[in-house]
């Protein structure tokens, strides 16, 4: 299968590079890093072993890219308004759009943009960051859960999973809604709390008060998911997420990096949409509603001259 990477950053660049290294045909869309990667290649410093792609297939416009079998969208959701212009040159009728993005409700909105296109959700469990132009630092973990949103060809969907596994990526086929909400159990507390308190994951868990608050927020996400009919999700998953995070090195989630570098934060899909869906199902998330309000205030304050 032929792959396109839309968003060659910490996540898309890592998975695309792994697929390329394994021998799959991968086409990368780049923006500011384009000329650097043309000249120097794409470098991955990884806990699983460092490598460089000396001459990857890179482009600065999708109009020059070929149609592909799988288009991996790893842009921030704040850039999804660009998809109607970016994706059409890459799409065949059976091209799978794999959305490796954060939040709840993303697939439904992208499906409205491309009604007949098969869509899958990718939930990456990875600590990875851009270290510089054409340079990605993969620190920890790296598996991806993939949920089928609207792929009606099981052979092509299964081949995509098999390709990820052949590239050494732990890829699991998971129930879509369950997987999205499981990712939210970690994302909703840690992304916003690291911004609101200007800190890292390890410091949040080393303080008894914030450790408890993070856990309570996780329980709100689990309760919301259960109210929406999600199975196989209970307090044991929160315990697992806390334990896994304690094992991680000090980490700044994507929203914290966006805040630090004055980029738009993904408040809509990470907070507003899941809170609204929970409310519609009769479940309130007061601690996370408070965090959402704080993030909106921070956004307004950072964009308004003092």
Show which residues are catalytic. 183
* DSSP character string of the chain: -EEEEE--STTHHHHHHHHHHTT-EEEEE-STTHHHHHHH-EEEEETT--EEESS-EEES-GGGSPP-SEEEE-S-GGGGGGHHHHSGGG--TT-EEEE---SSSHHHHHHHHSTTS-EEEEEEEEEEEEEETTEEEEEEEEEEEEEESS---HHHHHHHHHHHHHTT--EEEE-HHHHHHHHHHHHHHHHHHHHHTT--HHHHHHSHHHHHHHHHHHHHHHHHHHHTT--S-SHHHHHHHHHHHHHSPS---HHHHHHHTTPPP-HIIIIIHHHHHHHHTT---HHHHHHHHHHHHHHHHHHS--
């Amino acid at each position: 299968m032929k792959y396109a990477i839309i968003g060659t950053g910490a996540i898309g660049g890592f998975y695309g590079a792994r697929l390329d290294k394994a021998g799959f045909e991968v086409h990368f869309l780049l923006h500011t890093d384009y000329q650097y990667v043309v000249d120097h290649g794409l470098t991955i410093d990884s806990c699983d072993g460092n490598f460089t792609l000396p001459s990857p297939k890179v482009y600065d416009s999708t109009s020059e890219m070929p149609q592909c079998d799988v288009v991996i969208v790893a842009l921030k959701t704040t850039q999804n308004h660009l998809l109607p212009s970016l994706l059409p040159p890459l799409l065949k009728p059976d091209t799978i759009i794999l959305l490796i993005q954060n939040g709840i409700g993303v697939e439904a909105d992208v499906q409205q943009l491309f009604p007949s296109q098969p869509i899958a959700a990718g939930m990456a469990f990875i600590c990875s960051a851009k270290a510089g132009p054409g340079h990605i630092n993969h620190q920890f973990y790296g598996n991806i859960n993939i949920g089928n949103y609207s792929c009606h060809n099981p052979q092509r969907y299964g081949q995509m999973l098999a390709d990820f596994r052949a590239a050494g990526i732990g890829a699991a086929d998971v129930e879509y809604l369950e997987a999205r909400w499981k990712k939210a159990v970690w994302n909703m507390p840690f992304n916003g709390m690291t911004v609101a308190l200007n800190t890292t994951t390890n410091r949040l868990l080393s303080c008894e008060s914030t450790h408890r608050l993070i856990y309570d927020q996780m329980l709100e996400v689990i309760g919301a998911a259960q109210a929406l009919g999600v199975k196989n999700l209970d307090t044991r998953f929160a315990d697992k997420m806390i334990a896994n995070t304690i094992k991680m090195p000090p980490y700044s989630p994507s929203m914290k990096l966006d805040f630090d570098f004055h980029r738009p934060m993904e408040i809509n899909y990470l907070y507003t949409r899941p809170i609204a869906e929970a409310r519609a199902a009769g479940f309130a998330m007061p601690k996370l509603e408070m965090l959402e309000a704080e993030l909106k205030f921070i956004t307004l304050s950072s964009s308004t001259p003092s």
